[in-house]
A and B are shown apart, each in its own frame.
Chain A
């Protein structure tokens, strides 16, 4: 699904990613952990197509296709989804209208007609149920005045609607209380299947109790310094990141 090889990226001549290689296959969940400033969010932004970063070396392949030259929207059309740590507020545009615009933009890019209104409504209702979102929420302006939990739930709702091949969840657990965390994780777990892949980016192990990864990678100074299975996350929780920093 996703194959990253020796990826180097920088912003304004400051090198942030220093040779990342990562293979994610369909049906897998990968967790990327690491201390603050290790490059976690940069990695997710670069995969999603942010123009803020300069990729100086290495490749990102999505199902064998090099996506380096594609802009963010084209990557989305190819099935990449990024759940933001800080989703943006769009006053005046309702959650429903926003998701309709997003879905129809993707359909248009694939040469399909707009989704019939009836199908759209049904899909919205189904996915809203999955994330325990009520209909009043859907007619509010996107992210405006949302609590931290509502924002994240809304991100996963969008993921459910867009049905991506590769979903990157950037610090989805930050700002969530335990109930919201459970709802969000539960939603993600229901969306997991053998045809998609999920990359969970997190500072803490807590989220991984709910979304159980197949593999865990530890990022430090823009490099993956350790990879393992879910036990690695527990070890990290116990020993802290200093253990990794010393080892590196």
Chain B
């Protein structure tokens, strides 16, 4: 396969460019070997059965950007949450952009992975956390590790409650036709520390772009992590997002994934429990149309007693779009008194839209509460009629019902500006102006 060969042959050139510590070099080499062995997944792979990659992987992507890609804030302001004060870590075509960023080393490290990988003061953190839980048997994760060079590095020390959210934004300019990006984020949240993060991948042109992203998040004892992924990209942008979260005792990690755009979006969201009384929340709203595809593969690995996980994914599919939800919950023998809930509700707007929904529960403990529910239906005609008899036109009525359908997920968004932004994106997608936030 063309892209695969190209990546393999680019590795030496890539390694010669980066000045890094020996241990990371070893990690990269090992990951490359692993990728070589695995190869890109095909349709025969059960995990990729409904998400065909052949068209994407046939593309002749550039692996390194060759241009000087400066962009002006005014041109990209709309992609930021800009009505509140935030830290910002911004990349343009994979390269850090200091002009658009606002980083810090005061009280917490909110900076770049390239710095963390190369500077000796971060050596211990990198040794302790970098690539410690990223899956070895996943081709895309291995590939990302092999080429890991840049991304966000966030270290929140013990008891630090970060007062401002952090935005991680990856722009692609389209100056290189067909660019492949492999951002790598490492986020370590110390004991009793709290952080809110908003992540976005945004193409600024109609050129093809393929992002293979890996994020590792460690939530130490009683840490609180509140993470938002806003996926509303251009038609030719594809994203494979691999996120790994390891939680320690009494920590709470929440990830909201809002998928509204892009050609192909695959979210591999993995939670691992390492101690007791942990809470994990995974929620998502997907609204897509045309030939778009959004695939949510979630995994919650309950390995200790008295932990909880809550999953709630809502999807609305129009035209010939395709949705995939594969929710895997593993409850180990030791994980007694586990509460694991999973909900996946879908609305198919058109006859040719598809959703493949698959709950996968593997339960080895006997004293647990686990539930899953999946529904697939259409917008309720009676409800639509009710709204229309109040004088609300069909389009607005459908929009109101969409909000009502997605409301459970919107409700738990903790940052009002993010909630308001999601509201606006949904309103724009549905072509309505309701004049209020729901």
Q: A residues bordering B, Cβ < 8 Å?
A: 45, 48-52, 71-73, 75-77, 80-82, 84, 86-93, 97-98, 100-106, 109, 114, 141, 158, 162
Contacts and interface: CB of A to CB of B under 8 A. Distances in A.
Contact of B400 (A87, A93, A114): A93
A109 B388 CA distance: 13
A90 B436 contact: no
A102 B391 contact: yes
10 contacts: A49-B388, A50-B385, A52-B381, A71-B388, A88-B380, A92-B407, A98-B390, A100-B436, A101-B400, A105-B393
Contact of A88 (B382, B406, B407): B382
Contacts of B388: 49, 71-73, 76
B392 to A, nearest CB: 5
Contacts of A76: 388-391
Contact of A81 (B382, B389, B403, B408): B389
B404 A92 contact: yes
Interface in B357-394: 380-383, 385-394
A73 B400 contact: no
Contact of A162 (B380, B391, B393): B391
**Which 5 pairs between the two chains have the least Cβ-Cβ distance?**
A92-B407, A76-B391, A72-B388, A102-B390, A106-B391
B435 A100 contact: yes
B83 interface: no
B427 to A, nearest CB: 12
A210 to B, nearest CB: 24
Contact of B401 (A90, A109, A158): A90
B393 A92 contact: no
B136 interface: no
B404 A162 contact: no
Given A73-B388, A102-B390, A88 B383 contact: yes
B8 interface: no
B128 interface: no
Counting contact residues on chain B (CB < 8 A from A), the size range is: 20 to 34
B376 to A, nearest CB: 19
A84 B385 CA distance: 10
A64 to B, nearest CB: 21
Contact of A84 (B381, B386, B391, B400): B386
Given A93-B403, A93-B438, A97-B436, A88 B391 contact: no
Nearest to A52: B381
B392 A90 contact: no
Interface string B398-438: 00110110111011000000000000000000000011101
Count chain B CB atoms within 10 A of each CB in A86, A89, A90, A109 and give the residue with the most: A90
A73 B404 contact: no
Nearest to A45: B385
Interface string B72-109: 00000000000000000000000000000000000000
Contacts of A87: 386
B407 to A, nearest CB: 3
Contact of B390 (A97, A141, A158): A158
Nearest to B393: A73
B396 interface: yes
B410 A82 contact: no
A91 B434 CA distance: 15
A91 B407 contact: yes
Nearest to B405: A91
Given A88-B380, A97-B438, A101-B435, 9 more contacts: A71-B394, A76-B388, A90-B383, A92-B403, A92-B404, A92-B410, A109-B391, A162-B390, A162-B391
A20 B429 CA distance: 44
Contacts of A162: 390-391
B415 to A, nearest CB: 17
A218 to B, nearest CB: 25
A92 B389 contact: no
Contacts of A158: 390
Contacts of A77: 391
A195 B225 CA distance: 60
Given A84-B386, A88-B387, A92-B410, A102 B392 contact: yes
Contacts of B406: 92
B409 to A, nearest CB: 10
A17 B380 CA distance: 24
Given A50-B385, A88-B383, A93-B404, A73 B391 contact: yes
A75 B387 CA distance: 12
Contacts of A52: 381, 385
Contacts of A50: 385
Contacts of A101: 392, 396, 400, 434-436
